[in-house]
Amino acid sequence: MVLLRLSPMALSRSRFALSPLAETLGSMIVLGKPCPDPSVAHWHGRHHAAFRRTLDADPFANGLVRLFGSTKWLPEFVAIPPSGGMRTALADELEKVARVPDEEVRAGLEKSVAHSWQRHDLSWLDEHERGHGQGWGARTANLLRSVWQAHISPDWPHRRALLERDVTYRAGLLAAYGWPRALERMSRRSAWVGADAIQFGNRPGPDRIVGDEGMLFVPVSVASGTWLCATPSGQYAQVYPARGFATTSRHPGSNRALDRLLGTGRATILRALEHPATTSELATHLDQSLGTIGGHLAVLRDADLVVGTRVGRRVVYRRTETGDLLAEGHPGTTRDSR
C-alpha cells in the first residue's frame, strides 16, 4: 500500500482547500455515466443529455471522459493540487492544464489506460487532432472550462457552501482531536497509519514524502471517488467526496411528527444539523435568511436540542444527544465525532 509520509513541519502546515478544477473533473466523470448517485440525480437528469451531445460531437472529449470515468489513475496533468487555498480560481488551474506539453499528456493518458478496468486505445488523440492547432493540454482545459460554464457554474454558490460546511466540520474535529479524527471516513481506502503517515489506496507502491508545505485536503460535492494530486516538488492533495447534507430523515413517520412538534422550519434545521454547521451555512443550504435561521436556532438551543461551539471566528452548531434522538426518531448513541 502507498503511504504518504509527513514530517512534523508538513503535518503542522497541512490544511483544507477548494478546487473548482477538481469539482469540474468529478462532475464531468459523473455526467459521463448513466447511473448517478441518488444525491445528484436531479442535477444529472437536467444536464446529462446536453453533455452527451457534446461528447458525441467531439471524439477527443468523448475519449477523455470515457477514460477518466473508468480508471484508477487520473493523469497528473489534470490532478493538480490547488494553489489558492479556499479561494482557488478555476482560471489559474486551467492555465496550468493548458501549458502541459503533448508528450506529458500522452504519458499521463497511457498510465491511465494501464490502470483502467476497460479496454482503451488512444487513437482518438492522433486521428482527430491533425490540423486542430491546439495542444492536448489546451484542448483539455477548453473542455473543462465548457463543462464548468454549462453544468456547474450556476450551482457553484450552493456547492461552495456545502464544501465549506464540510471543511468547517472537519476543522472542528482537527482542533479538538487532531488530524486522525479529522480524516476519519474521508475515504473508504484512506486511513491514518501510526503518527506520521496516511495510507492512500490499497495498491502496492513506494512511500511518498510530503514536502514541508504540507498536505492539502480538497472536498468535492459529487461522489466520484477519491484521487491524489501531486507535483514533482512533493506537494500533495487528496480529493475526497464531502459528507452528505440530507435535510430529510430516513424515517418518514418521525418527519411528520417532528414537523408537528417543532414546526416545519425548526424541524428542518434540526434534521439539517445531522452534520454541524454555522448559521450562514444553514441559511445558504436551506435558502433562508440569517435572521430566520438565527431565531429558530435560539429556540432549539433553549430547548437543549442544539449547542453552539466556537471554532476560530465561527460558531458551529450541532445537535445534542436529545436533539439526535428527536431528529432520528429512534434510540441511539451520540456520534463519537462530536
Q: Note whether residue 80 is domain-resident.
A: yes
Q: Is the pLDDT of residue 249 over 60?
A: no
Average pLDDT over residues 251-275: 79
Q: Note whether residue 335 is domain-resident.
A: no
At residue 244 the predicted structure's pLDDT band, cuts being 50, 70 and 90, is low
> Where is pLDDT greater, at 199 or 189?
199
Domain stop point among 138, 154, 170 = 154
At residue 108 the predicted structure's pLDDT band, cuts being 50, 70 and 90, is very high
Q: Note whether residue 146 is domain-resident.
A: yes
Q: Are residue 117 and residue 164 in the same domain, yes or no?
A: no
Q: Are residue 36 and residue 104 in the same domain, yes or no?
A: yes
Q: Note whether residue 246 is domain-resident.
A: no
Q: State how far the Cα of 281 lies from the Cα of 287, in Å rounded to an integer.
A: 10
Q: Note whether residue 197 is domain-resident.
A: yes
Largest Cα separation within the chain, whole Å, is 69
Average pLDDT over residues 6-24: 94
pLDDT digits (tens, 9 = 90+) for 51-100: 999 999 999 999 999 999 999 899 999 999 999 999 999 999 999 999 99
Q: Are residue 65 and residue 146 in the same domain, yes or no?
A: yes
Q: Is the pLDDT of residue 335 over 60?
A: no
Q: Are residue 173 and residue 144 in the same domain, yes or no?
A: no
At residue 183 the predicted structure's pLDDT band, cuts being 50, 70 and 90, is confident
- List the CATH number of the domain containing 275: 1.10.10.10
Domain stop point among 98, 133, 154 = 154
Find which of 2-6, 126-130, 214-218, 263-267 is predicted with most confidence, using mean pLDDT: 214-218
Q: Are residue 33 and residue 116 in the same domain, yes or no?
A: yes
Q: In what order do the strands lie in the sheet with 15-16?
A: 15-16, 215-220, 236-241, 227-230
Tell me what pLDDT residue 127 has.
62
Q: Are residue 60 and residue 177 in the same domain, yes or no?
A: no
By the 8 A CB rule, do 308 and 295 touch?
no
Q: State how far the Cα of 319 lies from the Cα of 274, in Å rounded to an integer.
A: 7
Which of 16-25, 65-74, 170-179, 323-332 has the weakest average pLDDT? 323-332
Q: What is the total count of domains within the chain?
A: 3
Q: Note whether residue 30 is domain-resident.
A: yes
Q: Is the pLDDT of residue 129 over 80?
A: no
Domain stop point among 241, 262, 293 = 241
- Read off the DSSP letter of residue 219: E
Q: Tell whether the torsion through CA atoms of 25, 31, 34 and 39 is positive or negative.
A: positive
Q: Are residue 27 and residue 126 in the same domain, yes or no?
A: yes
Average pLDDT over residues 30-58: 87
Q: Note whether residue 334 is domain-resident.
A: no
Tell me what pLDDT residue 336 has.
35
Average pLDDT over residues 304-326: 86
Do the bridges between strand 197-200 and strand 190-193 make them parallel or antiparallel, or are there none, so unpaired?
antiparallel
Q: Are residue 57 and residue 176 in the same domain, yes or no?
A: no
Tell me what pLDDT residue 338 has.
31
SS3 241: strand
Q: Are residue 268 and residue 306 in the same domain, yes or no?
A: yes
Q: Note whether residue 163 is domain-resident.
A: yes
Q: Are residue 138 and residue 37 in the same domain, yes or no?
A: yes
Full residue range of the structural domain in which residue 192 is found: 2-16+158-241
Chain CA centroid to CA 156, Å? 13
By the 8 A CB rule, do 68 and 28 touch?
yes
Count of H-run helices and E-run strands, the chain = 15, 10
Give every CB contact of residue 42 below 8 A, 6+ residues apart in sequence.
Answer: none
Q: Are residue 7 and residue 24 in the same domain, yes or no?
A: no
Q: Are residue 76 and residue 133 in the same domain, yes or no?
A: yes
